[in-house]
Chains A and B, each alone.
Chain A
Amino acid sequence: MQKRKMMFLMVLLLSLGFWWFNPVVVSAQAPADKYAPAPSTIKGWTPYAEPVKDWTAPDKRHPQYPWVLKDPFPWKPSWPTKDVPYTGEELLWLRECAFWGAEGGKTADYCGYSVMRNRRGLVVSKNFYIMRTHYWEKFDEIIHYKMGVNGLYQKVFTILDNPPELRGFAQLVVKYNNAPGKWKDPDRYAWVPALRRVRRSAGGDRQDDSLGYPLSNDDNGERQYWEYTYEIIGEDILYEVNGARGQAILGDPKVIVDNPIYPGAGVWGDGQNPYREDGGLECWVVKLTPKDPKYYLGYILDWIEKRTKLPLHEEQYDHEGNYIRMGIGEQSWKAYPNSYKGRVAWGRTTILLGDWQRDFWGMAWYGGFKYGQPIPDTKYTIPELQKEYFWRPVPGYRPVTKIDHFPPYPYFYLEKKCKDRVGVERLDPELIKKARASQDMWKARGGYDPWGWANGTKFQELK
C-alpha cells in the first residue's frame, strides 16, 4: 500500500515537473510581456553571404500588372529564406505605405521647420504648413490600381511663412498612381507672392533637386517602386537617428504594441516592440537597383526597421559605387493611434537630407500632426492658394541661423563593411574630417538632441 502511494506520488511529481518544464504549457500559463523588448538576433552589422532575392516566378506576379506582386496588401510573410519573412520588394512597398503616413493617414494636417546649409556655410530656413488627403482607403488600392492606372493618389497643399520673400508662397500638388509606360506627372500649381499670381509648372526632372532641397523629386515621393529590383543584403542595428536615441526614434513602444498598423492582417512584426533591450533597432538593409541604367543613381541602400517597416537610414551610390547622396537620409517617427477609422498613422518627427558631393544638407522638424480630421476638397483649389491663409500658429521651433548650430553630419558607419558600402571609404578625406569635427563639436556640447534644440530646452548657451 505504502509502495503504491509512493509510486503515485512519484508519478504526480514527475507529471508536475514535466508540465512545469514544457514551454508551450508555460507560455499558456503565464503569457510573456507583450511589451517585452525585441529579441537581439544579431550583434551588429551582419551582411548576408547570399542576398535575399525577389519573387520572380510568374505565379507570384499579378496577372494584369506583372510589375507588382499578386497577393493583396498588406502581405503575410512570404519567407524567401527561413530567417527573413519578406523580400526586399515587399519591404519597400510596406515602407512606401508608411512613407505616406500609412493607412491611418487618410488626411493629415501638420507643420514644421526646415533648415539647409551648403558647403560654404550658408544657412537658409523655411517654416511650412501642410494639408494632405489620400484618395484611397487601403494601400492595396494603390498597388493593384483599384482606381485605375493614373488614378488620383493624393493632393497636398503647402504654404510657407518664412523666409520673407516666400511668406504666403503656397503650392498645390496633385499626384497620380502611375504604371510602366503610363505616366502622369503630378499637377503643380503655386501661388507666388512676388508675382501675385498662381502659376502652373511643368515641374522638373525627377532626378533634379526638389524645391531647392538636397534631395531629388524622386526622393521626395515620386520614386516608383516598380522601377527597381531588390536584394536584402544584410541586417544591422541602429542606435541613433538624427541625434535622437532610444524611444525618440520611433516613439513610445507601448503605443506601437497596442496599435498595430495592419491589425489582424498577419504582417510579421506588426504590433511588436521594435526596441531591443539595449535600445537598438534592428533593420534589414535593402539594396534597390534601378532598372534604368541611365538613372542618376547606381543603387540605394535602405535601412528598414524590421517590425514597423519604417525607413530609418538611406545611402545613395552612383554607378561606380561612390557614396554620393542620402536623399531623405535619416528619419525618425511617431505613431498616432485612432487617426482614421481606428487606424494608426505614422508621422515623421525629424528628417535629414544630404548630398555628400555638394556637401549640401538639410534638416526638418515636424509637429502638430492632426490626422483624420476632414479636409474639404475645396482646400485643394486655386482660390485657396491665393488666400495666403495660415490656418494654424507657427510651429515655434528654435531656428538655426548659424553654421555652428546646424545639426551634426550623419555617421559614416565605416565599420559596417561590405562590397556595396565600399564607397563610404572613398569619401573625400577632407569631407570626412569636416564631418568628424562637426560630430565632435556636438559631442563636446553633450551630444546633439534635435528636440532639445527645437524646443529650446537644451543648448540655450549657444547664441
Chain B
Amino acid sequence: MKAKMSVLSLCLLLCMFFLGTAQAQEEGKWFDLSNFDPFGHALDNVEECVPGLYLKGIIWNDTGLFLNGRGREGGGKAMRGNPNPPAAGRYNSNPGLPAGALRKRNYNLEKIEWFTELEARYVPPAIPNLEFISIWDFRYNALYDWDHSFKHSFGATTSAARRNLYPAVKEADEYYNDTKRIWREFYIKWTPPGWIIQLGKQQHIWAKVDTKVHDDLFPVDLRYGTAANPRLTQTDYEYVNIPTWMLSATKQLGSHVYFQLIWNFDYERNYTYPAGYVWPSGSPSDIGINPAALTTRMRADMPTWNVKDHEWITRLGFNVGRWNGHLLYAYVWDKSLTGFRRASRIVGGAPRYFVEPKPTRVHYTGIALDTNFWFLKRNWAMFFENYFLLNKYLPNLNESVIALGLTNPLLNKYDGYSKRTLYKHIWGVESYFMQDFSFLLYWAFTYVFGRDGGIPAPQPASPANNISAIYLPALTWRAPFTEDRWSISWINMITPLNRMTSQNTFGTSYTFSNYLTASVLFHYFYGHPNDLLWGPLNDRNYVEFKVKYEF
C-alpha cells in the first residue's frame, strides 16, 4: 500500500512539475500549455457540426491523504492529557462502526476521486431565448481498489461490519451508479423578455453568504460531503445539491422588483453516508430517543406525486438603493426524515419500539440582503441571510425511552419529538487590504424558540437555547507576480463561544491556464473528542491534492 501511495504522490508531483515547466513554451519547451485542451478541441468539431450546441466539461482528480498515521492513539486508549476519555470506539474509529476496544482508524487515504461532468446546452438557432440543458456526472473513487486497509478497518472478513457495512459504504461511495446521480440535470429554459421559465430537473442556489441558509430548504446528497467534511464549501454545492423536477418561473416587475415561484413536484430527502465511512455518517434523528437495538424502522411515509404533496417556494427580489435582497417564503417538506415512535410493544418478552420515518411539512420564511459601503478607506460588502423555520420537529429526550422507562405506556402517547420554531442567521462582511489580500468574516447564530432541557438542539447537553459560530472563512492572498494565478488561503471555522472547536484549511492553488488548475489543501481539525462538530475529527487531519481540467 505504501508503495502505491508513493507512486501516486510521485505522479501528482511530477504532473504539477511538468505543468509548471510546460508554460515556458515561448522558450521552445516541449509542450504548449496555452492550447492544451484536447477534449475541448474534439468537442469544437461536434459544435461546428450542430449549430447552437455548446458542450463543456470537467475532469478532476481529488486525492486525500490522512496525516495522523495509522491509529495514532489506538482505540480505547486515553488521549494524552485527557482526564475524561471518551468511551472505547468513540474516536479513532470509523464513525458508526460498533465500538471495540481495539478499533482504530487504520487506513491511509481519504479518497482517490476521479470525477467527470459533461454539460450540453442546445439553443435552437431560430429561438435564441430557448435553451435545453443536460448535465451528466460520473464519479469513481479508486480508494476501494487502491487502499485495502480501509476494507480491513471494518474487521475480519467474517465480522458483521465487514459483511454488512462495508458493501453499503462501497456501494454509496465508489461509483455514481444510478440514473438519478448520473443524469444530474435536464431542463428547458425559456427567457422571453422579463421572464425566466425553467422546467425539468434542476437546482437553484440563492445564497448571499457563502454557505447555506435559505438554500437549506433544498435537498443535499451528503454522501458527497458532510458538514464536518471540508468538502462542503460553496464550490461544492453544485455537486452536493440534489436537483429535482420542478417548474421555476421568475417575472421581472420593473427594474427593482422580481418574483420567483417554484413548484416542486419531486420530493427528495437528504442522503447521508452509511455507517462506517471515513467521515461521520448522518444518524437517524431519533438516535437517543429509542434504543437502536430495540427499534424496528417501518417503511418511510414519503410524499406522493399528488398535488397536495408538492412543494411551493416563493421569492420576492428587490433592489432599493444599494441594498439588494429577497424575501422568502417556502412551504416544503423537511429534508431530514423525522423518526416518530408510533408504538411500543412487548415482542418475545422484550420491549420493541416501532418508528415511522417521515418528512414533515415545514414553513421557511426569511430575508436575504447584501449591500456595499465605504469604511476605513476601503469598500466593504455586507451580507445577511436569516430564516424562521416553523413546525420543525426536534427530538425531545424527555420523551425518550430512557427518560420514560422501557415499558412506560406513555411511550405510545409520546412520539419522541416536539414541534418548535428555529431561527437562524448568518451575517458577514468582505473587504480587502494591502492590495492583494481579501478576507471574509461571518457570524452564524441559531436559536430555538421554546426549547426545554430535553431538546438537544441547537447543542446537546447545554442549557443554552442558542449557538454562535464565528467563521473567518477566507483570508486570501493572490500573488501579483503570477498575475493573481497563484493564491494562498486560510479558511477557519470556529465555535469560540461554545466548546471551542475549529476546522482550518490552509490551501494553495495555481491556475496554469484557461483549462488547468491545481491545488493542495491541508485540513486541520482542532478540539476535544468530546466536543461538538470538529473535535471528534482531530485525528483526521489530511492533505488534499486536486488537479482540475475544464474543457
* Chain A residues proximal to chain B, CB less than 8 Å: 116, 118, 120-125, 163-165, 167, 183-185, 187-189, 194-197, 200-205, 207-209, 212, 214, 296, 358, 360, 376-378, 380-384, 386-391, 401-403
B-chain residues with CB within 8 Å of residue A204 when the two chains form the complex? 432, 435, 438
A-chain residues with CB within 8 Å of residue B338 when the two chains form the complex? none
Further contacts, 20 of them, CB under 8 A, given A197-B207, A214-B483, A358-B480: A121-B26, A125-B514, A164-B514, A194-B238, A195-B237, A196-B203, A200-B381, A201-B430, A203-B379, A203-B432, A209-B484, A380-B255, A381-B255, A381-B258, A383-B258, A386-B196, A389-B129, A389-B191, A391-B128, A403-B25
A177 CB to nearest chain B CB (Å) = 14
Contact for B514 among A124, A205, A209, CB less than 8 A = A124
A189 and B383 CA atoms in complex are apart in Å by 13
Using known A-B contacts A121-B25, A121-B26, determine if residue A205 contacts B435 with beta carbons closer than 8 Å.
yes
A200 and B40 CA atoms in complex are apart in Å by 31
The answer to whether B27 and A121 touch across the interface, beta carbons within 8 angstroms, is yes
A-chain residues with CB within 8 Å of residue B317 when the two chains form the complex? 382-383
Contact for B374 among A118, A184, A208, CB less than 8 A = A184
The answer to whether A387 and B191 touch across the interface, beta carbons within 8 angstroms, is yes
A115 and B512 CA atoms in complex are apart in Å by 15
The answer to whether B431 and A202 touch across the interface, beta carbons within 8 angstroms, is yes
The answer to whether A200 and B379 touch across the interface, beta carbons within 8 angstroms, is no
Residue among B25, B35, B238, B379 with the most chain A CB within 10 A?
Answer: B379
Q: Which of B20-69 contact A (CB under 8 A)?
A: 23-27, 32-35, 40, 54, 56-57
A-chain residues with CB within 8 Å of residue B207 when the two chains form the complex? 197
The answer to whether A402 and B370 touch across the interface, beta carbons within 8 angstroms, is no
The answer to whether B196 and A387 touch across the interface, beta carbons within 8 angstroms, is yes
A-chain residues with CB within 8 Å of residue B234 when the two chains form the complex? 195, 197
A167 and B54 CA atoms in complex are apart in Å by 10
A380 and B252 CA atoms in complex are apart in Å by 11
B-chain residues with CB within 8 Å of residue A187 when the two chains form the complex? 322, 324, 372
B-chain residues with CB within 8 Å of residue A378 when the two chains form the complex? 193-194, 252, 254-255
The answer to whether A202 and B35 touch across the interface, beta carbons within 8 angstroms, is no
Is B398's CB within 8 Å of the partner chain A? no
B-chain residues with CB within 8 Å of residue A200 when the two chains form the complex? 208, 324, 370-372, 381, 383
The answer to whether A120 and B26 touch across the interface, beta carbons within 8 angstroms, is yes
Contact for B513 among A124, A183, A391, A403, CB less than 8 A = A124
Using known A-B contacts A184-B374, A201-B381, determine if residue A164 contacts B550 with beta carbons closer than 8 Å.
yes
Is B17's CB within 8 Å of the partner chain A? no
A402 and B34 CA atoms in complex are apart in Å by 7
The answer to whether A383 and B379 touch across the interface, beta carbons within 8 angstroms, is no
Contact for A381 among B206, B319, B485, B551, CB less than 8 A = B319
A-chain residues with CB within 8 Å of residue B430 when the two chains form the complex? 201-202
Is B436's CB within 8 Å of the partner chain A? yes
The answer to whether A209 and B550 touch across the interface, beta carbons within 8 angstroms, is no
Closest B residue by C-beta to A212: B484
A-chain residues with CB within 8 Å of residue B260 when the two chains form the complex? 383
29 residue pairs from A and B, CB less than 8 Å apart:
A121-B25, A122-B512, A122-B513, A123-B34, A124-B513, A163-B514, A163-B550, A164-B56, A164-B515, A164-B551, A187-B324, A188-B372, A195-B205, A195-B235, A196-B203, A197-B206, A197-B207, A200-B371, A200-B381, A202-B378, A203-B379, A203-B432, A378-B194, A378-B252, A383-B252, A383-B260, A389-B128, A389-B191, A401-B35
* Main secondary structure on A side of the interface with B: loop
Closest A residue by C-beta to B371: A200
Interface code B358-378, partner A: CB below 8 Å = 1, 0 otherwise? 000000000000111010001
Is B443's CB within 8 Å of the partner chain A? no
Is B542's CB within 8 Å of the partner chain A? no
Question: Which 10 pairs, one residue from A and one from B, show the smallest C-beta to C-beta distance?
Answer: A121-B26, A163-B514, A377-B255, A185-B379, A123-B34, A202-B381, A197-B205, A200-B370, A165-B550, A401-B35
A124 and B54 CA atoms in complex are apart in Å by 20
B507 CB to nearest chain A CB (Å) = 16
B-chain residues with CB within 8 Å of residue A120 when the two chains form the complex? 23-24, 26-27
B-chain residues with CB within 8 Å of residue A209 when the two chains form the complex? 480, 483-484
The answer to whether B483 and A212 touch across the interface, beta carbons within 8 angstroms, is yes
B-chain residues with CB within 8 Å of residue A202 when the two chains form the complex? 372, 378-381, 430-432, 438
B-chain residues with CB within 8 Å of residue A212 when the two chains form the complex? 483-485
A20 and B431 CA atoms in complex are apart in Å by 74
A437 CB to nearest chain B CB (Å) = 11
Q: Which of B247-273 contact A (CB under 8 A)?
A: 250, 252, 254-255, 258, 260
Contact for A122 among B23, B56, B204, B255, CB less than 8 A = B23
B-chain residues with CB within 8 Å of residue A358 when the two chains form the complex? 480-481, 483
A248 CB to nearest chain B CB (Å) = 27
Q: Which of B375-413 contact A (CB under 8 A)?
A: 378-381, 383
Contact for B515 among A163, A208, A377, A386, CB less than 8 A = A163
A294 CB to nearest chain B CB (Å) = 11
The answer to whether A381 and B252 touch across the interface, beta carbons within 8 angstroms, is yes
B-chain residues with CB within 8 Å of residue A189 when the two chains form the complex? 324
A-chain residues with CB within 8 Å of residue B324 when the two chains form the complex? 187, 189, 200, 382
Closest A residue by C-beta to B374: A183
A440 CB to nearest chain B CB (Å) = 15
The answer to whether B432 and A196 touch across the interface, beta carbons within 8 angstroms, is no
B-chain residues with CB within 8 Å of residue A383 when the two chains form the complex? 196, 250, 252, 258, 260, 317
Interface code B173-196, partner A: CB below 8 Å = 1, 0 otherwise? 000000000000000010101101
Q: Which of B65-106 contact A (CB under 8 A)?
A: none
The answer to whether A402 and B438 touch across the interface, beta carbons within 8 angstroms, is no
Closest A residue by C-beta to B207: A197
Using known A-B contacts A200-B324, A381-B258, determine if residue A205 contacts B483 with beta carbons closer than 8 Å.
no
A355 CB to nearest chain B CB (Å) = 9
A116 and B34 CA atoms in complex are apart in Å by 10
Interface code B312-344, partner A: CB below 8 Å = 1, 0 otherwise? 000001010010100000000000000000000
A401 CB to nearest chain B CB (Å) = 4
B43 CB to nearest chain A CB (Å) = 9
Contact for A196 among B128, B194, B237, B480, CB less than 8 A = B237
Using known A-B contacts A378-B252, A403-B26, determine if residue A196 contacts B196 with beta carbons closer than 8 Å.
no
A116 and B482 CA atoms in complex are apart in Å by 13
A128 CB to nearest chain B CB (Å) = 14
A203 and B260 CA atoms in complex are apart in Å by 28
A296 and B435 CA atoms in complex are apart in Å by 10
Interface code B285-320, partner A: CB below 8 Å = 1, 0 otherwise? 000000000000000000000000000000001010
The answer to whether A196 and B205 touch across the interface, beta carbons within 8 angstroms, is yes
A194 and B235 CA atoms in complex are apart in Å by 7
The answer to whether A122 and B484 touch across the interface, beta carbons within 8 angstroms, is no
A207 and B436 CA atoms in complex are apart in Å by 10
Closest A residue by C-beta to B40: A164
Closest B residue by C-beta to A360: B483
The answer to whether A208 and B436 touch across the interface, beta carbons within 8 angstroms, is yes
B-chain residues with CB within 8 Å of residue A195 when the two chains form the complex? 205, 234-235, 237-238
Closest A residue by C-beta to B325: A382
A376 CB to nearest chain B CB (Å) = 8
B-chain residues with CB within 8 Å of residue A402 when the two chains form the complex? 25, 32, 34-35
B307 CB to nearest chain A CB (Å) = 27
The answer to whether A185 and B372 touch across the interface, beta carbons within 8 angstroms, is yes
Closest B residue by C-beta to A184: B374
B184 CB to nearest chain A CB (Å) = 12
